Amino acid sequence: MQQAVNIAAAEDRHWPEEGWTRVPYWVYSDPDIYQRELDTFFYGPSWNYVALACEVPEQGSYKRSWIGERQVVVVRGEDDQIFVWENRCAHRGARVCWKNKGKEESFTCPYHQWNFALDGSLQGVPLKRGVLRKGGMPSDFDNSAHGLRRLHVHVEGSSIWASFHDNPPPFEEYCGEEVMAGLRRQFPGKRLRLLGYNRQRVASNWKLYFENLKDPYHATLLHSFLITFGLWRADTQSESIPVDSGHSIMVSRNVGKKKTEAASEIKRFKEELELFDKDTVTPRNEFDDGKVVAITHFPSVVIHQQANTFGMRHVIPKGPDSFELAWTFFGYEDDDEEMTRLRVRHANLYGPAGFVAMEDGEVLSESQLGTHHYEHRAAVVEMGGRDVERQDHMVTEVLIRAFYKHYRELMGL
Amino acid sequence: MRDRIKPIVRDLTPDVEILVLENQLRHFYEKIADLLDQDQIEQFPGYFLDDCMYQVVSRENYSENLPQATIYCDGVAMVRDRVIALRETQVYVPRVWRHFISGTRVTAIEGDEIHARANFLITEATSDNDPTLFLVGMYLDVLVRDGDGFKFKQRLAVFDNHHISRSLIAPV
């Protein structure tokens, strides 16, 4: 694992004078910048994806999740209310919950058996009154002041979001109108069916993952599967939409395999490529708008819909030069068997062995290595011009520029 | 969508028949591992029945009985497509893998189907790095005899890793 070079303190960092068309490489390796990002974005006035409702189906069902580097527990409490609390005992700080998923009536910290209700409130402290009139808690010890730290929670459709901030903005305001429309399209209130997980650890800065999903340009060049089988191509009707708060939306269409003038110019379009199992790259039409949509919801998740696979790609930073990418694949509870079959097959495009996504894991790791000890240099993002307005094509880096405009404002850089 | 075949585990007496079979399986497993390690992946699909199930799947998905797998092949056509993708389209940093297999054990014989399992450990070395422990887990197999050898009706490579480190390029 490479060591980040920390030459200058964050205060001394200066953005290149070209502005948002440049990304200085120190944003990917400086530990001070990294800590400021965690405080500003993950622990600040933002909304972070934590789970899908179908992962905690019954009262007492829970799942451990992450916001930044902090672990939280998502629990379904009484009356179907969802609670999210820090997995950190209010007593000595030990993790209270030691399993990734399960079902409990209440949570007991294994260390001193302090017992917490599903909503995180402290219910019991063993030996609180001491033994034989000796020891115990002070008489004014108030259980109600020592619960697990609870986060603000928002449930949108069947997706669960949380915020560490004491006073986060309304969820809709944080998302913006277009991201809200995208979320409602993906989560129209239908119950979900969990299809499985993939987890990968990529040795790159977490932001590079968002940039990868703000870069439709690379997808038209790198990913043979997308190009050849017409799942994502530069010569289709598409949109690149930057949204406030660092989010963005990429829209395209599945058009099938065909050779056009533009396609034949692209080296990795492989006309002769045929699969034995054509179902893997043949989607069944399911959205009336005919669109393929990827939403990057900053700072925690990318939501993909491609062919018939849906996935939440939860971005979990692990230091300046590493992140976990936790993929949750799902469908709708009312899908027929054939649709579920297609969703599971199409997920072969994604995850660490995905026909498409494997290449992103490779490229991001090599990008991080490429910037190592080149902190005085900067990336160039001028494809599609130098502005930050939405564009009706995908040969552009506008979404990355718009992101760094937002990033610099919030980070004071 | 087909479900995974649940492994059958019986308390088999280690008589000559079982011991010979386990030895044959050990030899077969070493052969499959060797062709993967030697980059002869084109031969890999030839050891699967047409209606096979081949998956490289996390313990997490397997134990929760979730259908998704990291590599999901329902039928030999999808196994062949993995070979095509690896050879024709995928962009990745060159690597060398090495399989270490232990604990090969027949757990049941049901008609002409053999249920067997074994541990695997795989190291990975990229072109400018030393080998690392890449993947550890267990094969859960259902095999049928094929001449002097075997074919997979089902091969599940259930891995213990919580994460795949970087990417999973080749079959396991």
B40 inside domain: yes
Asked which of A243-257, A263-277, B70-84, B94-108 is least confident by mean pLDDT, the reply is A263-277
Residue of B nearest to A344 (CA): B68
Distance in angstroms (rounded) separating the CA atoms of residues A173 and A175: 5
> Pick from B58, B61, B77: which is nearest to A277 by CB?
B77
CATH of the domain at B56: 3.10.450.50
H/E stretch holding A227 reads: helix A224-228
Tell whether B4 is covered by a domain.
no
Average pLDDT (B27-56) is: 98
Q: Number of residue pairs across A and B with CB atoms under 8 Å?
A: 118
Kindly list the residues from chain A whose CB atom is less than 8 angstroms away from the CB atom of residue B58: 197-199
- In sequence order, what DSSP letters do the residues of A68-105 get, joined into one string? TTEEEEEEE-GGG-EEEEESS-TTT---S--SSEEE-S
Among A69, A94, A73, smallest CA distance to A82 is for A73
Q: In chain B, what residues touch A361 (CB-CB under 8 Å)?
A: 166-167
**Which amino acid does the sequence have at B62?**
Y
Distance from CA of B79 to the nearest CA of A (A): 9
Q: Which two structure tokens, joined as six digits, stand for A316?
A: 């979990």
Q: Which amino acid, A300?
A: S
Nearest chain A residue to B86, by CA: A355
Mutation target for A interface from B93, B167, B168, B172: give the one with most A CBs within 10 A.
Answer: B167
Q: Which one of A266, A277, A327 makes the best mutation probe of the B interface by having the most chain B beta carbons within 10 Å?
A: A277
Residues of A in contact with B165 (CB under 8 A): 200-201
Among A198, A275, A344, select the one facing B84 at the smallest CB separation.
Answer: A275
Determine how β-strand A239-242 pairs with β-strand A301-306. Answer: unpaired
For chain A, the structural domain boundaries read 48-155, 192-411
Low-confidence ranges of chain A (pLDDT < 70): 1-11, 258-259, 261-265
B164 inside domain:
no
**pLDDT value of position A263:** 67
- Whether residue B2 lies inside any domain: the answer is no
Mark yes or no for CB contact A277/B88 under 8 Å.
no
Residue A83 neighbours by CB under 8 Å, 6+ apart = A74, A75, A76, A77, A118, A119, A120, A150, A153
> Is residue B23 assigned to a domain?
yes
pLDDT at A8: 52
**The pLDDT value given to residue A62:** 98
According to CATH, the topology of domain A48-155 is Rieske Iron-sulfur Protein (2.102.10)
Measured between beta carbons, the chain A residues lying within 8 angstroms of B50 are: none
% pLDDT > 70, chain B: 100
Q: Is A168 helix (H, G, I), strand (E, B) or coil?
A: coil
Number of structural domains found in chain B: 1
What pLDDT is stored for residue A313 in this prediction? 98
Q: What is the dihedral of CA A45, A47, A48, A52, to 10 degrees?
A: 160
- Residues in B closer than 8 angstroms to A228, CB to CB, are 89
Whether B9 maps to a domain, the answer reads no
DSSP string, B88-130: II-----EEEEEEEEEEEEEEEETTEEEEEEEEEEEEEETTS-
Separation CA B61–CA A197 (nearest Å): 6
ipTM value of the model? 0.95
Q: What is the pLDDT of residue A227?
A: 81
- In A, what residues contact B, Cβ < 8 A? 100-101, 194-203, 222, 224-225, 228, 268, 270, 273, 275-277, 280, 324, 329, 337, 340-341, 344-345, 347-348, 351-353, 355, 358-359, 361-363, 365-366
Asked if residue B106 has pLDDT above 80, the reply is: yes
Write out chain A residues lying below 8 Å of B72, CB-based.
344-345, 347-348
pLDDT value of residue A1 = 44
Asked, for residue B1, whether it belongs to a domain, the answer is no
Would B83 be classed as within a structural domain?
A: yes
Q: CA A155 → CA A52, A118, A184, B76, distances in Å?
A: 9, 17, 12, 42
What domain range includes position B44?
A: 16-159
The whole-angstrom separation of Cα B8 and Cα B22 is 16
Q: Structure pTM?
A: 0.94
Task: For residue A92, report the phi and psi dihedrals to the nearest 5 degrees.
Answer: -120, 0
The pLDDT value given to residue A2: 46
Taking the C-alpha atoms of residue B26 and residue B118, their distance in angstroms, rounded to an integer, is: 9
CATH superfamily of A192-411: Naphthalene 1,2-dioxygenase Alpha Subunit; Chain A, domain 1 (3.90.380.10)
Which pLDDT does position A237 carry in this prediction? Answer: 85
* Distances from the Cα of B127 to the Cα of A148, A290, A304, B97, B99, angstroms: 48, 43, 32, 11, 18
| Single-letter amino acid code for the residue at A50 | V
- Interface residues of chain B, partner chain A, Cβ below 8 Å: 1, 56, 58, 60-61, 64, 66-72, 74-78, 80-81, 84-85, 88-93, 162-169
**pLDDT for B127:** 86
Q: Give the pLDDT mean for B126-152.
A: 96
Residues from chain B that touch A225, judged by Cβ atoms under 8 A, are 85, 89
At B110 the pLDDT is 96
What chain B residue is nearest to A341 in terms of C-alpha separation? B1
Where would I find the beta strands (DSSP E) of A225-337?
239-242, 248-252, 292-297, 301-306, 309-317, 323-332
Yes or no: say if A311 and A350 are a contact pair by the CB < 8 Å rule: yes
